[in-house]
């Protein structure tokens, strides 16, 4: 089986390449060979490679910068997924596509299910929602996988930023009124492999699913868990101070609650990701 993965240097793409090693012929392309802002290049590469499965792990993820660059965000997050869906449909192959919790406005108190009304607060969430809609308009074989608060040991993410700042500063102020599920890219990759195996075994329950580590916490809670591990390793660690979002204004507004319900994925595909703190420990174990 040949699998084409977009965004070869991204957090999820890196973990996918590790998880799929020895299981498939993986071709992972970065922007130099597959620029998602270039529809013609997308079509040329997909047709030339003719994969058996297409996984879109690339995205415009600069949430705040997207407010100043809406055209770039929509080109990569909205137009490109539609083109990928068209090419996948033409080849008669599935498309796995990762989306985000930011398609919701965070006004709900409980967990969001897949059929809840969407209402993104900023350009990033709006562009990702438009990408979902573009894929759905094409139809065919697709999985839209909404995840949240993705981190890993590579790239730019909350985990690595907190590890650095906690060791550089004496005090660190972190938002405590935004809640979600920190999700390790390794958990996403493992679940994707299980989806692949389910499809090979005959499962055809295509559609939109929530794919996050279980449970939830605030950014402050996430930072506190990271701090605990630094202390356990005997490393210096700043004092954490919880603050409301109002004390940390950003160009893009974030949902106060973006916890996603993963029960549909468990019911239809038999996949349930680990608790977020368990996944964090597994991720950090790799650094040792």
Q: Which of 86, 124, 166, 136 is closest to 250 using CA atoms?
A: 124
Environment class of 172 (CB within 10 Å of its CB; exposed 0-12, middle 13-18, buried 19+): middle
> In this structure, what DSSP letter does residue 20 have?
T
Q: Which of left, alpha, beta for 155 (phi over 0: left; psi -120 to 50: alpha)? A: left
Element (H, E) at 91: helix 80-91
Cα 250 from Cα 96, distance rounded (Å):
31
Cα 20 from Cα 13, distance rounded (Å):
10
Count of H-run helices and E-run strands, the chain: 10, 12
Active site residue 124: yes
Cα 121 from Cα 182, distance rounded (Å):
20
Cα 224 from Cα 227, distance rounded (Å):
5
Cα 211 from Cα 71, distance rounded (Å):
27
Q: Which of 129, 46, 57 is closest to 93 using CA atoms?
A: 46
| Catalytic residue, candidates 60, 124, 142, 209 | 124
Q: Which of 137, 134, 52, 45 is closest to 91 using CA atoms?
A: 52
Which residues have a catalytic role annotated?
124
């Amino acid at each position: 089986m040949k699998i084409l993965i977009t965004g070869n240097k991204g957090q999820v793409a890196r973990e996918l390449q590790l998880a799929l090693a020895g299981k498939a012929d993986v071709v992972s392309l970065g922007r130099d060979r597959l620029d998602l802002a270039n529809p013609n290049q997308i079509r040329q590469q997909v047709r030339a490679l003719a994969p058996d499965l297409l996984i879109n792990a690339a995205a415009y993820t600069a949430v705040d910068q997207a407010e100043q660059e809406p055209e770039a965000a929509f080109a990569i997050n909205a137009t490109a997924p539609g083109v990928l869906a068209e090419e996948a449909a033409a080849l008669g192959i599935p498309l796995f596509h990762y989306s985000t919790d930011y398609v919701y406005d965070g006004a709900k108190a409980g967990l969001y299910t897949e059929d809840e009304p969407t209402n993104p607060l900023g350009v990033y969430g709006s562009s990702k929602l438009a990408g979902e809609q573009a894929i759905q308009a094409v139809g065919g074989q697709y999985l839209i996988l909404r995840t949240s608060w993705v981190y890993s040991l590579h790239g730019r993410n909350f985990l690595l930023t907190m590890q650095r700042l906690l060791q550089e500063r004496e005090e660190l102020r972190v938002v405590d009124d935004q809640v979600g599920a920190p999700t390790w890219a390794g958990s996403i990759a493992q679940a994707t492999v299980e989806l692949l195996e389910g499809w090979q075994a005959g499962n055809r329950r295509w559609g939109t699913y929530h794919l996050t580590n279980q449970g939830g916490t605030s950014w402050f809670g996430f930072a506190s868990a990271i701090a605990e591990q630094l202390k356990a390793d005997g490393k210096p660690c700043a004092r954490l101070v919880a603050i409301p979002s109002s004390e940390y204004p950003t160009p893009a507004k974030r949902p106060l609650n973006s916890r996603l319900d993963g029960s549909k994925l468990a019911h239809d595909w038999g996949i349930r990701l680990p608790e977020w703190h368990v996944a964090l420990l597994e991720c950090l174990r790799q650094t040792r």
